[in-house]
Amino acid sequence: MDRQAITDAILALTQGETDTVALMATVVCEIHHHHDFADWTGFYRVVAPDLLKIGPYQGGHGCLVIPFSRGVCGAAARSGRVLNVPDVDAFPDHIACASSTRSELVLPVWNGAGKLLGVLDLDSDTPAAFDRDDEDWLVPLLAQVFEKAE
Ligand code: SME
């Protein structure tokens, strides 16, 4: 897997774009099709205080609504921290949209003004699919892509 190639494609495709949904759709598409372990890839958007709603995604259908109090996505939104869950069965309150999911990586996404836009949720059917390299790669990439988003 060539993370630099995914980065290059995302930056080229999103150059000058500030629409949040357009950016999310493009990021999801590139990661989903080029990351070796991404079996469900999508954004949940902050739509009200403490409430996430499904955004652009690829894979099987996702849950439509996740409160900040629920699941890995809610925990990432609530805490503002990246959550790498190597075994979803060991995570209390994991929301199983797909029973095939074994591990996941959820990253909070802010714009340049510090507004929390949502979370990026990478789900994999492979146990412990995501590693520190994924976090170190995606955190700065998301900050760059969504800097001017509203
Ligand atoms: N994995 C998430 C739920 C969303 S779906 O699996 C698409 C969670 O527990 O927050």
Domain boundaries, the chain: 3-145
Q: What is the pLDDT of residues 77-134, one digit of tens each?
A: 999 999 999 999 999 888 888 889 999 999 999 999 999 999 999 999 999 999 999 9
> 16 CA distance to ligand 1 centroid (A)?
30
Report the distance separating Cα 7 and Cα 145, nearest Å. Answer: 10
Q: What is the pLDDT of residues 33-77, one digit of tens each?
A: 999 999 999 999 999 999 999 999 999 998 999 999 999 999 999
**What is residue 47's predicted lDDT score, i.e. its pLDDT?**
98
93 CA: nearest ligand 1 atom: 9
> 72 CA distance to ligand 1 centroid (A)?
6
Q: Is the pLDDT of residue 23 over 90?
A: yes
pTM comes to 0.96
3-145 falls under which CATH superfamily? GAF domain (3.30.450.40)
91 CA: nearest ligand 1 atom: 9
Burial class (CB in 10 A: 0-12, 13-18, 19+), 24: buried
